[in-house]
C-alpha cells in the first residue's frame, strides 16, 4: 500500500509535544520512576453531582439533535451570558459543538483568512489546526515584562503596512500556557485596534469561569461586532471528556454560524444528545454550582500561588497566576549552566528535567516561543480535587492557604521541591 498518499497539509504538523512527553513519562513509569505529571491540561475536580445526575436521567435520549444544538441549551447559555457578562445574546447566537476545539477547527474550515494572528505563547492546537486548513499563521511576539500579554502596539506594528488583509486573532485568557489574564481596561484598548484593522476575534474563554477571583471579563463587551466567544464545559465543570463546547456569535456574524452549521452537518452532525441535556443543568445557575465554582477557584488560586512563590523565591520568573491552572516559568537565568550541560532548547530542558527529577513539563516552544527560550508550562493539578472539594463542603470555615496546600497537596509540594533542587544544583 502506498505510504506517501497523506494529505500535504499533514506534513507541516509536527508530532505534539504533549504526546512526546506523555510517552516518555509512561516509559519512565514502567521503569518504576515516580512521575509528577505537571504536563497535563485537565481539571482536577469531578463533574458536579447534579450534572452527573442529569446525564444519568438523560441516558435514554437517543435522537439526533439539531446541528446547531439543543434549543433549550442554547437558550440557557444565552441567559448565562446575559446575566454574567451583560451580552445581548439569544439562543440563535449560540452554536453547540463536540468541544470548543472542534468549533475552532470548524471556524477555520469555514472562514477564509489571509492571516491567523497568534500571540506567542498560545495554546498548542491553534497552529496545527491552521496548517490543516491551509491558513498562514503570524506569531506576534509578546514581552515577559507585560506578563507575555498582547499590547495594542504589537497589533498596530504588525498590521499597519498591510491594513486590508483579512485577519482573525485567537485571544485566549485566562491563558493556557501563562495563567495570566486581561483586565477590562486592557481589553478595551485591544478592542480599539482590532476594530481599526477589522480583525475578527475568537475569544477563547474556556478558563473564564475558573478566573481565580471570579472576575473574568470578556472582550465581547467592548468589541461585540467582531468577537466570537469560544468556551464550554471542559475546564470549569471537570468535564473535558464529555466533549461539549460552544461559540457565542454577535448578530452581524450570524452568516459564519450558519456556514459552520453546514460543515457540522456534513461531518459530526450534532453533539451527543445526553451530554447536551445534561449541559442544560450545568448552565442552570444555582447555589450548588456557585459553591462548586467558589471552592474550585479558592483551591486553584492557593495551589498556583504556592508553586509560584516557591519558584520565584529561587529566581525563576513568570506571571502571577490569575486563572485556570497553569504557570509559565522562565529558566533563562540558568542559560549558561544549561548550555554547559548540553541543554540548548526548551524541549531539551523538559526532557532532561523529566529524566533527572520525574517532573513532566511542556516546553515553551510547543506554545510558539522561540526554542532557545528556556520557558515551560507547568500545570498545578496533581492533587485529589474530589477530596479537597469535600473538605471545603463539610467544613466551610476551613482556611485555604499555604498551610492547606502543604497538608493536602503533597505531590505539588514534592514535585516543586524537585524542580527547585535540580535548578539550584546546575
Angle formed by the axes of helices 346-357 and 17-30, nearest 10°: 20
- Should residue 43 be labelled a site residue for ligand PLP when binding is judged by CB under 6 A? no
Cβ burial, residue 192 (10 Å; 0-12/13-18/19+): middle
Taking CB under 6 A as the binding criterion, the range among 9-17, 97-105, 208-216, 394-402 that sits at the site for ligand PLP is 97-105
Distance in Å, CB of 326 to ligand PLP, minimum: 9
DSSP letter at 13? P
DSSP letter at 331? -
Distance in Å, CB of 335 to ligand PLP, minimum: 28
Distance CA 251, CA 371 (A): 41
Number of residues that bind ligand PLP (CB under 6 A): 13
Neighbours of 8 (CB within 10 A): 7
Select 270 or 357, whichever has its Cβ closest to ligand PLP. Answer: 270
Q: 3-class secondary structure for 335-391?
A: HHHHHHCCCCCHHHHHHHHHHHHCEECEEHHHHCCCCCCCEEEEECCCCCHHHHHHH
174-233 binders of ligand PLP (CB under 6 A)? 176, 204, 206, 232
282-301 binders of ligand PLP (CB under 6 A)? none
Look at residues 383, 329, 388, 395 and name the one whose alpha carbon lies nearest to residue 177. Answer: 329
Bond preceding residue 121 cis, omega within 30 of 0: yes
Select 152 or 240, whichever has its Cβ closest to ligand PLP. Answer: 240
Distance in Å, CB of 397 to ligand PLP, minimum: 34
Taking CB under 6 A as the binding criterion, the range among 93-101, 138-146, 265-273, 408-416 that sits at the site for ligand PLP is 93-101
Look at residues 320, 335, 367, 378 and name the one whose alpha carbon lies nearest to residue 146. Answer: 320
Could you tell me the three cell numbers for 81? 451570558
Give, in degrees to the nearest 5, the angle at Cα 360 between 239 and 296.
Answer: 35
- Should residue 142 be labelled a site residue for ligand PLP when binding is judged by CB under 6 A? no
DSSP letter at 236? T
Select 110 or 357, whichever has its Cβ closest to ligand PLP. Answer: 110
Select 236 or 404, whichever has its Cβ closest to ligand PLP. Answer: 236
Distance in Å, CB of 324 to ligand PLP, minimum: 8
DSSP letter at 191? H
- Should residue 363 be labelled a site residue for ligand PLP when binding is judged by CB under 6 A? no
Select 275 or 392, whichever has its Cβ closest to ligand PLP. Answer: 275
Sign of CA dihedral 307, 309, 315, 317: positive
- Should residue 17 be labelled a site residue for ligand PLP when binding is judged by CB under 6 A? no
- Should residue 121 be labelled a site residue for ligand PLP when binding is judged by CB under 6 A? no
- Should residue 234 be labelled a site residue for ligand PLP when binding is judged by CB under 6 A? yes
Taking CB atoms, the residue at the shortest distance from ligand PLP is 99
Determine which residue in the list 107, 123, 236, 374 makes contact with ligand PLP, applying CB under 6 A.
123
Distance in Å, CB of 257 to ligand PLP, minimum: 17
Check: CB of residue 115 under 8 Å from CB of residue 165: yes
Select 141 or 240, whichever has its Cβ closest to ligand PLP. Answer: 240
Select 172 or 295, whichever has its Cβ closest to ligand PLP. Answer: 172
Determine which residue in the list 69, 99, 179, 323 makes contact with ligand PLP, applying CB under 6 A.
99
Taking CB under 6 A as the binding criterion, the range among 94-102, 186-194, 297-305, 335-343 that sits at the site for ligand PLP is 94-102
- Should residue 118 be labelled a site residue for ligand PLP when binding is judged by CB under 6 A? no
Distance in Å, CB of 243 to ligand PLP, minimum: 7
Select 274 or 333, whichever has its Cβ closest to ligand PLP. Answer: 274
| Pure H helices in 166-272 | 184-196, 254-265
- Should residue 368 be labelled a site residue for ligand PLP when binding is judged by CB under 6 A? no
DSSP letter at 46? P
Distance in Å, CB of 262 to ligand PLP, minimum: 21
- Starting at the edge strand found earlier in the chain, the sheet holding 227-232 runs 94-97, 245-248, 227-232, 200-204, 167-172, 115-120, 137-141
- Should residue 100 be labelled a site residue for ligand PLP when binding is judged by CB under 6 A? yes
Look at residues 149, 157, 137 and name the one whose alpha carbon lies nearest to residue 197. Answer: 157
Question: Which residues of this chain interact with ligand PLP, rule CB under 6 A?
Answer: 41, 99-101, 123, 172, 176, 204, 206, 232, 234, 240, 245
Amino acid at each position: 500500500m502506498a505510504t506517501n498518499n497523506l494529505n500535504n497539509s499533514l506534513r507541516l504538523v509536527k508530532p505534539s509535544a504533549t504526546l512526546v512527553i506523555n510517552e516518555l513519562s509512561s516509559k519512565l513509569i514502567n521503569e518504576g520512576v515516580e512521575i509528577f505529571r505537571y504536563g497535563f491540561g485537565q481539571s482536577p475536580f469531578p463533574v458536579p453531582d447534579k450534572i452527573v445526575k442529569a446525564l444519568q436521567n438523560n441516558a435514554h435520549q437517543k435522537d439526533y439533535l439539531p446541528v446547531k444544538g439543543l434549543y433549550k441549551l442554547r437558550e440557557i447559555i444565552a441567559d448565562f451570558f446575559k446575566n454574567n457578562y451583560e451580552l445581548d445574546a439569544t439562543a440563535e447566537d449560540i452554536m453547540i459543538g463536540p468541544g470548543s476545539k472542534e468549533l475552532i477547527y470548524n471556524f477555520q474550515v469555514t472562514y477564509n483568512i489571509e492571516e491567523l494572528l497568534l500571540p506567542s505563547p498560545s495554546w498548542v492546537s491553534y497552529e496545527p489546526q491552521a496548517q490543516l486548513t491551509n491558513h498562514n499563521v503570524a506569531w506576534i511576539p509578546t514581552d515577559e515584562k507585560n506578563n507575555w500579554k498582547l499590547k495594542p502596539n504589537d497589533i498596530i506594528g504588525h498590521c499597519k503596512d498591510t491594513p486590508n488583509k483579512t485577519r482573525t486573532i485567537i485571544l485566549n485568557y485566562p491563558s493556557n500556557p501563562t495563567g495570566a489574564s486581561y483586565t477590562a481596561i486592557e481589553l478595551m484598548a485591544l478592542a480599539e485596534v482590532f476594530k481599526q484593522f477589522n480583525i475578527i476575534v475568537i475569544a477563547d474563554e474556556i478558563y473564564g469561569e475558573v478566573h481565580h477571583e471570579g472576575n473574568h471579563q470578556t472582550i465581547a463587551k467592548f468589541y461585540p461586532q467582531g468577537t466570537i466567544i469560544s468556551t464550554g464545559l471542559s475546564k470549569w465543570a471537570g468535564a473535558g471528556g464529555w466533549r461539549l463546547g460552544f461559540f457565542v456569535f454577535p448578530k452581524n456574524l450570524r452568516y459564519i454560524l450558519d456556514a459552520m452549521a453546514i460543515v457540522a452537518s456534513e461531518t459530526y452532525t450534532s453533539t451527543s444528545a445526553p451530554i447536551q441535556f445534561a449541559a442544560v443543568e450545568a448552565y442552570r445557575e444555582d447555589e450548588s454550582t456557585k459553591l462548586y465554582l467558589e471552592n474550585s477557584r479558592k483551591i486553584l488560586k492557593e495551589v498556583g500561588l504556592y508553586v509560584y512563590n516557591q519558584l520565584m523565591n529561587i529566581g525563576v520568573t513568570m506571571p502571577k497566576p490569575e486563572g485556570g491552572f497553569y504557570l509559565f516559568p522562565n529558566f533563562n537565568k540558568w542559560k549558561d549552566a544549561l548550555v554547559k550541560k548540553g541543554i540548548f532548547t526548551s524541549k531539551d530542558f523538559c526532557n532532561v528535567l523529566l529524566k533527572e527529577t520525574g517532573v513532566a513539563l511542556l516546553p515553551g516552544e510547543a506554545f510558539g516561543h522561540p526554542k532557545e527560550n528556556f520557558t515551560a508550562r507547568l500545570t498545578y493539578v496533581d492533587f485529589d480535587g474530589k477530596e479537597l472539594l469535600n473538605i471545603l463542603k463539610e467544613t466551610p470555615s476551613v482556611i485555604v492557604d499555604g498551610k492547606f496546600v502543604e497538608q493536602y497537596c503533597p505531590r505539588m509540594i514534592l514535585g516543586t521541591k524537585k524542580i527547585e533542587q535540580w535548578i539550584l544544583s546546575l
